[in-house]
Structure 1
Amino acid sequence: MNEVINTLLSHRSFRSYENKPVDENQLNEIIKAVQAAPNWTNGQNTTIIAIKDPERKKRFAELCGNQKHIEEAAVFLVFCADFYRTYIASQMEGTEMGALEDIDTLIVGSTDVGIALGTAVTAAESFGLGTVPIGGIRRNAKEVIKELSLPPYVIPVSGLCIGHPAKDPGHKPRLPKEAVYHEETYHRELQPILEKYNETYSAYLSDRSSNQRNSTWTEHVAKFFSKSYYDGIPEMLDQQKFPGGKS
């Protein structure tokens, strides 16, 4: 295997970091890699905001649900779906942004952020740095928007901690290939595969000395997705003039 594949297969999420800054040249290369990533119709609808100030990292840790690793990370990146540049381009060209009324625009922005985030993770790990994505950036989305001074047509989608790992958490077992890779059509008979994976997942949890959970994978995801996780998302989308809000 080549180095890129080795980096991808070695991925794990780090939630503990050394008190050591990330080299600015490396951070610059990470951002350059993100900018080189594919995006819809070259709209380049992703913006990254870096949080380095210790007090501001502490504030974002609180907003994201008291996630201490945001404070510990050398840099916390906030990935935003950004159509404000598109708005300016429309103003310059004297056109309306009719697409902002279509829910597909929200899908486009979120997809572009996902590609950008994955690219940043791989780029950071190629330097031996540790990362962990932070979906909790949407927990208090309106306050995050205020903290970042986000204009209309921009929403926070995900955060990303980057730093020098302090502790290796080990690999978390993934679903078997046959659960996620299908050929020609979707194969719906997944229950036997998930039952077997439950055994693997439970064994992984029981072998971790720091683990405080004891469940199967299906129990975990069923509970997590049994209700809406973050309040106020439709209102936030309305505020930022995105489709998918309450209006």
Structure 2
Amino acid sequence: MNETVKLLKNHRSVREFDPAKDVTEEQVKAMIESAIAAPNWVNGQQVSIIEVRDQEKKAKLAEAAGKQRWIEEGPVFFIFCLDFYRAKVAAEKNGKTLQIVDDIEAIIIGSTDVGIALSNTINAAESMGLGIVPIGGIRRNPQVFIDTLELPEYVFPISGLVVGHPRDIPEQKPRLPLAATFHKEQYNAEIQGAVIDQYDEKISTYMKERTNGKSSANWSSRTAGFYDTGFEHYQKNVTPALRKQGFRYQ
């Protein structure tokens, strides 16, 4: 197994950062260059990344993201945005209409490109010994991010990423077995129930150990709960903010 594969398989999210160690501009440049080098749809390069270090601004964004203290505690906070503003400029330059923003395809394209760029950034950070934690919670209150970061039309915040030097590295969280997530030739729906039962037991044991017995929640209960009522902030706030940014898909 080569070093790149070892790095990828060893990932874990870090939420405890060493306040005495900063992330250098050289490290930031390496991460961002890695992100921008990622493949993207039709070379449209539909991603923009905003670096935030200002402590007051990080505190405001941490509150909006669901009181996630590690946003404040980590030295660098990146916000990854899907970006069709440059495509708008290109359209105007060439006398074309930016019809893509009226279709759900724009959100799929932009979010996919953000995910690929985010992955490259994570891999670059971890290769330098840095710790990271992605922040999907920025979409709990996306308008706060849009206003604070002064995002123009056709730009929308998809995910954040806290980067810093780890103070504590947690045990790696077990993933679903490949039998559930990797299929050959066709999707295997019949196996999912049994695999989830086994995985629930594994996650419950992991949670007991990680929380010193305070929680034994399993995967299916947490996932089911979130997708039932736990995503209400996203349900309430994301679509209106997207509309306000110019995305008018039906």
Bin of the TM-score, shorter chain as denominator length: over 0.9
Q: What's the counterpart of residue 132 of structure 2?
A: 131
TM-score normalised by structure 1 residue count: 0.96
Task: Tell me how far apart the structure 2 counterparts of residues 8 and 90 of structure 1 sit (CA, whole Å).
Answer: 38
Partner of 1:2: 2
In structure 1, the partner of 2:47 is: 46
**Contact preservation (8 Å) 1:106, 1:243:** no
Q: Deviations over 1:31-89 (max 9, x none)?
A: 00011100000000000000011111111111111110001111000000000000001
* Letter aligned with residue 239 of structure 1: K
* Residue of structure 1 equivalent to 2:247: 242
* Aligned positions of 1:96-107 closer than 5 A: 96-107=97-108
Q: Is the 8 A contact 1:202 1:214 kept in 2?
A: yes
Q: 1:80 to 1:210 in 2, by over 3 A?
A: farther
> Corresponding residue for 2:215?
213
Instruction: Give the Å deviation of 1:209.
Output: 3.9
Output aligned runs, 1:116-195, within 5 Å: 116-189=117-190, 190-195=192-197
What's the counterpart of residue 55 of structure 1? Answer: 56
What's 1:76 paired with? Answer: 77
Structure 2: how far apart are the matches of 1:23 and 1:143?
27
Q: Residue 154 of structure 1 aligns to which amino acid in structure 2?
A: V
Runs of 4+ in 1 over 2 A off after TM superposition: 209-214
Q: How many residues align structurally?
A: 245
C-alpha offsets along residues 172-219 of structure 1, whole Å, 9 cap, x if unaligned? 000000100001110001100110111110010111145743211111
Match of 1:225 among 206, 224, 227: 227
CA apart distance, 1:243: 3.7
Q: Hey, what's the Cα distance between the residues in 2 that align with 1:31 and 1:61?
A: 22
Moved more, 58-67 or 76-85: 58-67
Distance in structure 2 (CA, Å) of the matches to 1:105 and 1:62: 28
Amino acid at match of 1:85: R
- Answer whether contact 2:133 2:162 (CA < 8 A) is retained: yes
**2:12 — aligned with what?**
12
Deviation sequence 1:121-148 (CA, Å, 0-9, x none): 1110000000000011111111110000
Residue 237 of structure 2 aligns to which amino acid in structure 1? Answer: G
The 3 A distance-change label for structure 1 pair 36 and 210 is farther
Are the counterparts in 2 of residues 64 and 136 from structure 1 also a CA contact under 8 Å? yes
1:200 aligns with 2:202: yes
Structure 2: how far apart are the matches of 1:2 and 1:67? 35
SS in 2 for 1:226: helix
Amino acid at match of 1:36: A
For residues 170 and 120 of structure 1, the distance between their equivalents in structure 2, rounded to whole angstroms, comes to 22
State the percentage of identical aligned residues.
Answer: 44
Q: Give the AA of the match of 1:142.
A: Q
> Residue 61 of structure 2 contacts residue 144 of structure 2 at CA under 8 Å; is this kept in 1?
no
In the superposition, the TM-score normalised over structure 2's length comes to: 0.95
Gap change, CA 1:89 and 1:71, over 3 Å in 2: same
Question: d(CA) in 2 for partners of 1:93 and 1:34?
Answer: 28
Pairwise CA RMSD: 1.2
